[in-house]
Amino acid sequence: MARVSEIPRKKRPAGNAAATPRAPHLAGDPDPLSQAIEHENLDDKIHARLRLLLVERRILPGDRIQVDRLARTFGVSRTPVVNALKRLAQEQVVEWALRRGVYVKRLSTRELARLFEVREVLEGLAARRAAPRITRTEVDRLTATFRGLDLTPHGPALQHYIECDRAFHLRLLELAGNPFLAHAMDAVNLMVFTYQMGLARPPAETIQEHWVILAALRKQDPDASEAAMRAHMRRTVERMDQEADAEERRASPAGRGADPAGGTAAATRWTRLGARIHP
């Protein structure tokens, strides 16, 4: 039997389907840590498996990634694991610390706000391009997804809302039909899903913005669809910046000892499902 190192690795062709953002792992699907990696195209397979673990928050920001342990778990040598981690470093989700190992990067709330500024532009373009391509039937289906949802800002109801929200944005990206946009959004979504803990704003607030986006899409109006989507994202950017301001005030000498639940922080604290959740 040929050794792992003897198997030629295939290069992933540019613009292939792997550039499309991935849906979250669903309950009942095989556990990504329990499956042995087949010995072909190892770099791509391990890279995809690690991305899934990050998106599922099985590996959290700040966690150390133990290369040898992962190699044993996947049943491969260190080399393809290291290669996959190097790709993730290029995607800015892991970092190599000198003499300390590999860690999942942490982003501050302020850095997340800047990431959402990029998302605002890309999601706006996706909505613009989707508008003339979307059908009334598709709009009806997307509308039905949000109608009647339990808007409780915690627990299973919140998780279900998050999944519906994510599917909505990914569907508009598919309808946009632009592989270069999909590639750019794939990189942004990986960071968003890895770093964002919960929702920046409660479902009862964001669902109203979804109705505005859907109304513009129903009219197949590119300008209105882009404007509605960008306003939706911009409000999240503003909320994150408010939270970052509050964090910086609490960290300042004057703010130490202040009630962490008071003031702006109480109004802008993120809606969370718990320690390990879908963003």
What does the H/E/C string look like for the chain?
CCCHHHCCCCCCCCCCHHHCCCCCCCCCCCCCCCCCCCCCCHHHHHHHHHHHHHHCCCCCCCCEECHHHHHHHHCCCHHHHHHHHHHHHHCCCEEEECCCEEEECCCCHHHHHHHHHHHHHHHHHHHHHHCCCCCHHHHHHHHHHHCCCCCCCCHHHHHHHHHHHHHHHHHHHHHHCCHHHHHHHHHHHHHHHHHCCCECCCHHHHHHHHHHHHHHHHCCCHHHHHHHHHHHHHHHHHHHHHHHHHHHHHHCCCCCCCCCCCHHHHHHCCECCCCCCCC
Report the pLDDT value the prediction gives residue 277, as an integer from 0 to 100.
Answer: 30
Report the pLDDT value the prediction gives residue 201, as an integer from 0 to 100.
Answer: 92
Lowest average pLDDT, out of 6-10, 85-89, 117-121, 256-260, goes to 6-10
Q: Give the pLDDT mean for 153-161.
A: 92
Select the highest-mean-pLDDT range: 50-59, 153-162, 223-232.
Answer: 223-232
Report the pLDDT value the prediction gives residue 209, as an integer from 0 to 100.
Answer: 97
Q: Give the pLDDT mean for 172-176.
A: 97
Q: Is the pLDDT of residue 246 over 60?
A: yes
Confidence of residue 251 (pLDDT cuts 50, 70, 90): confident
Q: Give the pLDDT mean for 230-253.
A: 94
- pLDDT of 40-82, one tens digit each? 588 899 999 999 999 888 899 999 999 999 999 999 999 999 9
Kindly list the structural domains of the chain, giving each domain's residue range(s) and its CATH number in brackets, ordered by start: 33-106 (1.10.10.10), 109-268 (1.20.120.530)
Q: Is the pLDDT of residue 3 over 80?
A: no
Select the highest-mean-pLDDT range: 4-8, 15-19, 153-157, 221-225.
Answer: 221-225
- pLDDT of 104-154, one tens digit each? 999 999 999 999 999 999 999 999 999 999 999 999 999 999 999 999 998
